[in-house]
Amino acid sequence: MSKLRARLLGVLVLLTGFLSAVGAQPAAADGLPDSLWFDAPAAATLTVDKGRFLDGLGREVVLRGYNVSGETKLEENSGLPFASVADAKRSATALRALGGGNSVRFLLSWAHAEPVRGQVDSAYLAAVTDQIRAFLDAGIRVYPDFHQDLYSRYLFNSGSWYTGDGAPKWAVDAGNYPSESCGICIFWGQNITQNGAVKQAQYDFWHNAYGVQDAFLTTAQATMTYVRQHLTTAQFAGLVGFDPFNEPYAGTYDSGQTSRTWERDLLWPFYVKFRARMDAAGWQDKPAFVEANLFWNSNIDSQKQEGGLLDAGTLGPRYVFNTHFYDQKAISGILMWGNAADGQYATDFGTVRDRASAAGTTAIVSEFGHPLSGTVSGKAPTVDKAMYQALDSRLPGATWWTKPASSGPVLSGNQWQWDIYSGRHHELMNGNAGKVLTSGDAWNDEDLSAVRLDDSGTAVLRQDARLLDRLYPSATSGSTVAFTYEDRSRDGSTTLTWNPVPASLPHVSQLVGSGQYGLLLWRSGGGSAPTELHLPASFPTASTTVVSDLGATISPPAYTTTTPIAVAPEPGGTGSRRLLLTAPDSGTLHYALVTNGATAPTADLLSAARSELSSWAASTIN
């Protein structure tokens, strides 16, 4: 053993000598590979309590991951995210190991679930369930979503510039809608408010014309029942809820109706009905992830509409406030000329936090992202970094260190999207054999997938791994006080550093150097299960340094119940890893700085950094 290593081990013993055992626990749990005692199915069950996601051990959970996937919106794989279960497994492993995700929003197709009115396609439900199972078995939590865009592809003719997804052909045939026409539409989304066929079909759904809403609810219940019955108890525990309807919009408003009264009188009653169907299908202990009016948080004033389920009262634990956010100004290429910057979306995501808090529940941003090709794709590195920054904290990096107590809860979110077939599609647009789409997402010229397959069939990232595979608190034993993560992701050859360690903490700054770092502050909750942070692949154990009130260590050891700072694989056998911080006390403020900066910090530097952080935490957190 080198003298340096011996010295550092001595420092670790010195700094952690106060530790006491947290009680005997079984070494492993039955179930997924790499599971530990606190990963049991009962512990994995997610509920909502006091504005937080909680697991079965009372830990505060953050869901991070991707939408799986826009392939569901296409016909080439019959409305399934994947061509095979093998592809689903390959995608799930890559999502965990490369993308750092612990959850997916899993898209379903009403058109394929009920291709004939009143007849649910059990073969489709079986295939869907098999593909969901691939993610659950990789240790990834899942919430399904009955997806629609522009109501249905069957509203569009074979030569159209655009297409939709969602409702089956019989539902469109029932409406006898006018020929689709968007007029002068540069973006596909303009069809939502300009295409008469789309507007009328949406209107009819919300008014249950021709009984289409009733039919949808019946199919949704049958789908949920089938999925529950064909998963094991342990697998079903990994289903965290259900997203009833993607991006709801009225179509048109009745005379005297506003966006707010539409939410109150039509959208919310639909969610109450869907909630009842969840209960009848055996999902009574799982929340509905309900979305507000699509335009409630638009960042273009002319598109923004009052909403946010303001008249639904206290949503409580049976509902999650679910929203999307895209920077429409940046996507327009006109309304935002430059790149995003530090704190760009702090206010937008702060509004999401505040709305969920006022509604008495937690929030999730189930779609966010930015195009990766086209004229505005150069903004993607900064736009996406700013969105992740806003999920982590409601503060810009420039002020985080001076007032961390205002950081707010860490938001859950799922980036759009994770499509391993990106750039390799074979989609007949609107059934037109003369219009075969292969590039991007193969849907309305979109290109947002963070992943693709290379020529050998291996999943590779299309965005900077430092941006996507992030340090984040996946389960906090107690309550989060503040969190930040400086990913040092790149915009071309430029490293983006929006939250440098301040000069007032010189030893912490020296320890971090030019490396990535995250800092979590939390109050312990008295549980024996550890706090977990996902460790990105850029944090190999040998290069990871942790400085905490619990101790300080270089290359944290393997987890035991008496080791306060440790590493372990994440359950599922994907090779992803987690940092485990054990603090079995209650009500105590703890902190942990995690960095891959200095490769061989001295014992004196570790001690000095720890002293600085302790003083800083005591002075900034009341």
C-alpha to C-alpha distance for 190 and 32, rounded to whole angstroms: 45
pLDDT at 498: 98
Q: pLDDT tens digits, residue range 209-252?
A: 999 999 999 999 999 999 999 999 999 999 999 999 999 999 99
Q: How many CB atoms lie within 10 A of CB 194?
A: 14
What is the maximum alpha-carbon separation in the chain?
A: 81
What's the angle, vertex CA 435, arms to CA 432 and CA 438, rounded to 5?
125
Residues 6 or more apart whose CB falls under 8 angstroms from that of 337 comprise: none
Average of per-residue pLDDT across 476-482: 98
C-alpha to C-alpha distance for 186 and 157, rounded to whole angstroms: 18
Strand 451-453 with 288-291, pairing:
unpaired
Burial class (CB in 10 A: 0-12, 13-18, 19+), 301: exposed
Secondary structure of 282-299 in HEC code, one letter for each residue: CCCCCCEEEECCCCCCCC
Distance of CA 261 to the CA centre of its chain: 29
pLDDT at residue 474 greater than cutoff 60? yes
Confidence at 3, pLDDT banded by 50, 70, 90: very low
Question: DSSP string covering 330-347, please?
Answer: HHHSSS--S---TTTTHH
pLDDT at residue 18 greater than cutoff 80? no
pLDDT at residue 59 greater than cutoff 90? yes
Q: Which two tokens stand for residue 354?
A: 């505040």
| CA proximity to 462, closest of 538, 365, 537, 381 | 381
| CA proximity to 483, closest of 582, 563, 406 | 406
Report which of residues 163 and 16 the model is more confident about. Answer: 163
Average of per-residue pLDDT across 518-545: 97
Q: pLDDT tens digits, residue range 252-299?
A: 999 999 999 999 999 999 999 999 999 999 999 999 999 999 999 999
Average of per-residue pLDDT across 152-168: 97
pLDDT at 22: 37
C-alpha torsion sign, points 415, 69, 202, 288: negative
pLDDT at 20: 34
User: Where are the extended beta strands (E) located within 10-136?
Assistant: 47-49, 52-54, 60-61, 64-68, 103-108
Cβ-defined contacts of 256-264 (< 8 Å, 24+): 258/306, 259/293, 259/295, 259/296, 259/305, 259/306, 259/307, 260/306, 260/307, 260/310, 260/311, 261/311, 262/206, 262/293, 263/292, 263/293, 263/307, 263/309, 263/310, 263/311, 263/312, 264/310, 264/311, 264/312
Report which of residues 358 and 6 the model is more confident about. Answer: 358
Lowest mean pLDDT across 183-187, 379-383, 397-401: 183-187
Taking a C-beta distance cutoff of 8 angstroms, is the pair 527, 477 a contact?
A: yes
Q: Which two tokens stand for residue 463?
A: 């965005």
Strand 319-325 with 288-291, pairing:
parallel
Query: In the chain, pLDDT over 90 holds for what percent of residues?
Result: 93
pLDDT at residue 184 greater than cutoff 60? yes
pLDDT at 25: 42
Partners of residue 568 on adjacent β-strands: 578
pLDDT at 599: 82
Question: Which H/E stretch holds residue 381?
Answer: helix 380-392
pLDDT at 622: 78
Confidence at 434, pLDDT banded by 50, 70, 90: very high
pLDDT at residue 589 greater than cutoff 50? yes
pLDDT at 23: 38
pLDDT at 426: 98
Q: pLDDT tens digits, residue range 78-121?
A: 999 999 999 999 999 999 999 999 999 999 999 999 999 999 99
| Secondary structure class of 571 (helix, strand, coil) | coil
For the chain, the average pLDDT equals 94
Average of per-residue pLDDT across 336-355: 97
pLDDT at 9: 41
pLDDT at 471: 98
pLDDT at 44: 86
pLDDT at residue 26 greater than cutoff 60? no
Strand 565-569 with 472-476, pairing:
unpaired
Question: Which H/E stretch holds residue 143?
Answer: strand 141-146
Partners of residue 371 on adjacent β-strands: none
pLDDT at 31: 80
Q: Which amino acid is at 134?
A: A
Taking a C-beta distance cutoff of 8 angstroms, is the pair 169, 185 a contact?
A: no
pLDDT at residue 4 greater than cutoff 90? no
